[in-house]
């Protein structure tokens, strides 16, 4: 079978390449130093592309990417990606929205503190001009000041929590969150945008879209108090730069901390002419830790996409995520992983896929079943561009019966899903749940209680529950220099199911040796 290809279009941290190159069944092409015109000539061989801001995903790119399944934007912003164009071609677009959260949060706090104490200017006077004039640099304290946060997502919420340590009075405006996300931390949530405009310091943390471009303009600035401080470490263009320039120059805005610009590189921006502005060159993700996280998450997501395991943080799903509570998305990913796992336990033709759910998650069965179908058919659909858009259509073409059901919650879990897949030869069922914010867990496999994350290389061995089986398996794996990283055992009556996590692949001959162990009934190696 021909290896599928992941193409890396822009520079990413070495850690990402380490993960990619460790996948022996995938071909990796490093085109990060390639001329963008030449890049178009080789896109046709790629199934997944990893990009950053240097590569524009436009009509030319998409016309060349004839076999593309998914695009992973190694970062948060997707301003350079034609998402509608990708959707029309069935290409899934993903980003890595949480990889640089801490870096962007801390940069925001750096700008807030720098604006309050004029640190860059004081530094330059002493270091460059060799002038010692303390009286020139009377700053302001954050203590007791009112901070307005526009957007209370991953970064905005963390800025709020850090600002609380300075004993600031904090209010946030975000109509898309549950207000308790703020109020539970003693942070005020408001529906009235004017409450934000009355603050001493305002920091914006929204995505860039038709609703947010220029959302702070002259009209909004006119409502602000004289001497307000504005911060933008999110996306360029959220502040109207003409209004920003005029009001910083007039002193209405006493000082601004700006990391992002409408047009970048911003070396010719008029904002740079102003004395009362602190600027950085889009450094939100510029930490060693952030670049490591971005690269590793992008690489992991690309591998998941090319194998059909999942499409984490997909942006063009046929589901309006703004209408789905945050707790649902991890269940979407878990559903696809479980279905993909089951499809490896029995690779014969699928006859039916049934999804059951209990708890609040059962209100989203219609959305979840799409993810179950994609996971279940990924192994069987190597020649089809299977994705969330066409999954139900392909299942219908294959005469696969699809069903969903709400069931009573008689368990200790707040939410639980169960996927049952029947093939020509067998039926397998796996249940799962999500702990905390995004901790996927398998809790039952064909009636055997388990507690394990659905990730990595797994050896399933169903056997008679008699002494010595685990030892024999361990010896066989040890003889092949295969390291065991974890071991879980489920027991039911006189049978047992061993789930063994290993650090490397297990070949067919080793599987046959384990199968020859007398008490062993079913042996299967899967990868997620």
- Residue 381, pLDDT above cutoff 50: no
What digits encode the pLDDT tens for the residues 96-126? 988 899 999 999 999 999 999 999 999 999 9
pLDDT category of residue 318 using cuts at 50, 70 and 90: low
Would you say 284 and 103 are in contact if contact means Cβ atoms under 8 Å apart? yes
**299 lies in the same domain as 249:** no
Residue 233 sits in the same domain as residue 333: no
For residue 396, the model assigns a pLDDT of 86
d(CA 377, CA 467): 38
Cα 274 from chain centroid?
37
Number of domains in the chain: 4
Residues 142 and 62 in one domain: no
pLDDT digit string, tens, across residues 257-286: 999 999 989 999 999 999 999 999 999 999
**Residue 8 pLDDT more than 90?**
yes
Domain boundary among the residues 436, 455, 474 is at 455
User: Using 50, 70 and 90 to split pLDDT, how confident is the model at 462?
Assistant: confident
CATH code of the domain containing 42: 3.40.50.720
- Residue 339's pLDDT is 95
Residues 107 and 86 in one domain: no
Two structure tokens written together for 377: 């058919």
Cβ neighbors of 449 (< 8 A, separation 6 or more) are 443, 490
> What pLDDT sits at residue 523?
87
Residues marked as catalytic: 235, 264, 282
Residue 235: pLDDT over 50: yes
Place of tokens 């336990």: 345
Q: Are residues 121 and 80 in the same domain?
A: no
Block residue for tokens 């591998």: 303
CATH number at residue 372: 3.30.1330.90
Domain finish residue from 455, 478, 501: 455
* 146-150 and 92-95 beta bridge pairing: unpaired
Residues 419 and 429 in one domain: yes
What is the greatest pairwise CA distance in the chain? 86
Q: What is the pLDDT of residue 323?
A: 66
Mean pLDDT comparison of 95-109, 479-493, 497-511, 514-528, highest-scoring range = 95-109
Task: Please tell me whether residues 174 and 229 are part of one structural domain.
Answer: yes
Q: Of 263, 228, 268, 262, nearest to 248 (Cα)?
A: 228
Q: Which domain holds residue 512?
A: 457-528
Average pLDDT over residues 473-482: 90
Query: Three-state SS across 477-499?
Result: HHHCCCCEEEEEEEEECCEEEEE
CA 217 to CA 203: how far, in whole Å?
A: 14
pLDDT of residue 465: 80
59-94 residue pLDDT tens:
999 999 999 999 999 988 888 899 888 887 889 899
Measure the CA–CA gap between 197 and 147, rounded to whole angstroms: 10
Residues 136, 269 within the same domain = yes
26-42: average pLDDT: 95
Tell me which residue of 72, 88, 94 sits closest to 390, measured CA to CA. Answer: 88
Q: What strands lie across the sheet with 416-423, from one edge to the other?
A: 401-406, 350-358, 416-423, 427-435, 439-445, 448-452
CATH (domain of 496): 3.30.70.260
Query: Do residues 30 and 153 both lie within one domain?
Result: no
Domain check: are 144 and 83 in the same one? no
Single residue among 411, 427, 455 that ends a domain in this structure: 455
Residue-level pLDDT at 1: 58
- Does pLDDT of 451 surpass 80? yes
Please give the model's pTM, rounded to 2 decimal places: 0.66
The answer to whether 42 and 342 have CB atoms below 8 angstroms apart is no
Q: Are residues 167 and 309 in the same domain?
A: no
Confidence class of residue 383 from pLDDT cuts 50, 70 and 90? very low
Tens digits of residue pLDDT in 125-161: 999 999 999 999 999 999 999 999 999 988 999 999 9
- Verify that 217 and 271 share a domain, yes or no: yes
């Amino acid at each position: 079978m021909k290896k599928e290809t992941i193409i890396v279009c822009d520079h990413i941290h070495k850690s990402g390449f380490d993960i990619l190159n460790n996948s022996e069944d995938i071909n990796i092409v490093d085109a990060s130093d390639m001329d963008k015109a030449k890049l178009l000539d080789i896109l046709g061989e790629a199934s997944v592309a990893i990009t950053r801001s240097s590569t524009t995903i436009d009509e030319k790119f998409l016309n060349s990417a004839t076999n593309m399944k998914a695009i992973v934007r190694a970062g948060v912003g997707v301003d350079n990606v034609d998402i509608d164009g990708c959707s029309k071609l069935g290409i899934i677009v993903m980003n890595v929205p949480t990889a640089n959260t801490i870096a962007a949060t801390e940069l925001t706090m750096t700008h807030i503190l720098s604006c309050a104490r004029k640190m860059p200017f004081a530094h330059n006077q002493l270091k460059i001009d060799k002038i010692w004039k303390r009286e020139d640099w009377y700053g302001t304290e954050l203590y007791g000041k009112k901070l307005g946060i526009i957007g209370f997502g991953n970064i905005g919420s963390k800025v709020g929590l850090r600002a609380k340590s300075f004993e600031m009075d904090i209010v946030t405006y975000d109509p898309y969150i549950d207000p308790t996300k703020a109020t539970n931390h003693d942070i005020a949530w408001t529906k009235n945008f004017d409450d934000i405009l009355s603050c001493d310091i305002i920091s914006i943390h929204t995505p860039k879209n038709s609703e947010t471009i220029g959302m702070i303009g002259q009209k909004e600035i006119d409502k602000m108090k004289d001497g307000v401080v504005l911060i933008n470490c999110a996306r360029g263009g959220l502040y109207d730069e003409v209004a920003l320039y005029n009001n910083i120059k007039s002193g209405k805005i006493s000082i601004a901390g700006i990391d992002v610009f409408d047009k970048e590189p911003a070396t010719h921006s008029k904002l740079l002419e102003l004395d009362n502005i602190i600027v950085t060159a889009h450094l939100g993700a510029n930490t060693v830790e952030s670049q490591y996280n971005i690269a590793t998450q992008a690489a992991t997501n690309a591998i998941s996409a090319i194998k059909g395991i999942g499409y984490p943080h997909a942006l063009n799903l046929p589901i309006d995520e703004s209408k789905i509570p945050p707790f649902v998305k991890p269940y979407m990913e878990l559903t696809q992983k479980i279905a993909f796992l089951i499809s490896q336990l029995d690779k014969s033709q699928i006859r039916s896929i049934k999804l059951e759910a209990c708890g609040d998650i059962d209100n989203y069965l219609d959305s979840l079943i799409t993810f179950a179908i994609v996971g279940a058919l990924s192994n069987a659909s190597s020649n089809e561009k299977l994705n969330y858009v066409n999954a139900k259509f392909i299942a219908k073409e294959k005469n696969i019966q699809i069903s969903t059901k709400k069931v009573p919650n008689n368990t200790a879990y707040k939410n639980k899903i169960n996927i049952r897949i029947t093939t020509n030869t067998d039926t397998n069922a796996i249940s799962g749940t999500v702990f905390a914010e995004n901790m996927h867990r398998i809790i039952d496999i064909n009636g055997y209680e388990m507690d394990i994350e659905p990730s990595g290389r797994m050896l399933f061995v169903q056997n008679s529950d008699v002494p010595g089986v685990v030892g024999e398996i361990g010896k066989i794996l040890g003889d092949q220099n295969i390291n065991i990283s974890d071991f879980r055992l489920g027991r039911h009556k006189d049978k047992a199911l061993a789930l063994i996590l290993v650090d490397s692949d297990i070949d067919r001959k080793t599987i046959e040796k384990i199968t020859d162990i007398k008490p062993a009934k079913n042996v299967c190696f899967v990868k997620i």
